[in-house]
């Protein structure tokens, strides 16, 4: 069946693959780029499995969502403090793998795999177990 709608061929359609979960924020950094603006990147240690035997999966994320960028910028000092645990509810997209070679340590010379994604949204933030309010107007 054909549709004679002239706008139909111009409309792009996408299939989104999103990952939602909770995880700890680590290793915040501002990444400089040759062309364009620098961006924030963070590691998320996502929790999964039984609450009696929690497993972690690490995602290396580029902070992409506008609100997520504002939140990350606001809580940056908390993430950088090793004594503080920052737990978030998150939504990621565009998951892909990246290979690298370990430069030192037990695995020196071995190939490793990193899971990379874009951090689109932060649903909530807990600092040392207590939920905190985020004022998005502060960074807007």
Residue 86 contacts residue 92 (beta carbons within 8 Å): no
pLDDT in tens, 38-90: 999 999 999 999 999 999 999 999 999 999 999 999 999 999 999 999 999 99
Q: What is the pLDDT of residue 136?
A: 64
What percentage of residues in the chain have a pLDDT greater than 90?
77
Residue 31 and residue 64: Cα distance in Å, rounded? 13
Q: Give strand ranges (E) for the chain.
A: 18-31, 39-48, 55-63, 86-101, 111-127, 130-132
Tokens of 89: 């509810």
For residue 9, pLDDT beyond 70: no
Q: Is 122 left (phi over 0), alpha (psi -120 to 50) or beta?
A: beta
- CATH of region 17-133: 2.40.50.140
Q: What is the pLDDT of residue 135?
A: 73
Average confidence (pLDDT) over 18-40: 94
Listed by start position, the domains of the chain span 17-133
């Amino acid at each position: 069946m054909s549709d004679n709608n002239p706008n139909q061929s111009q409309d792009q359609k996408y299939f989104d693959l999103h990952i939602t979960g909770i995880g700890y924020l680590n290793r915040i950094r501002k990444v400089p780029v040759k062309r364009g603006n620098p961006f924030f990147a963070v590691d998320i240690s996502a929790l999964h499995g039984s609450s009696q035997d929690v497993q972690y999966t690490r995602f290396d994320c580029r902070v992409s969502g506008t609100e997520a960028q504002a939140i990350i910028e606001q809580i940056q000092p908390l993430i950088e403090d090793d004594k503080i645990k920052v737990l978030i509810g998150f939504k990621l997209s565009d998951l892909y793998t990246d290979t690298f070679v370990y430069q030192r340590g037990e695995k020196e010379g071995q190939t490793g795999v990193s899971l990379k994604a874009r951090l689109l949204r932060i649903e909530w933030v807990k600092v040392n177990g207590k939920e905190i309010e985020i004022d998005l107007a502060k960074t807007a």
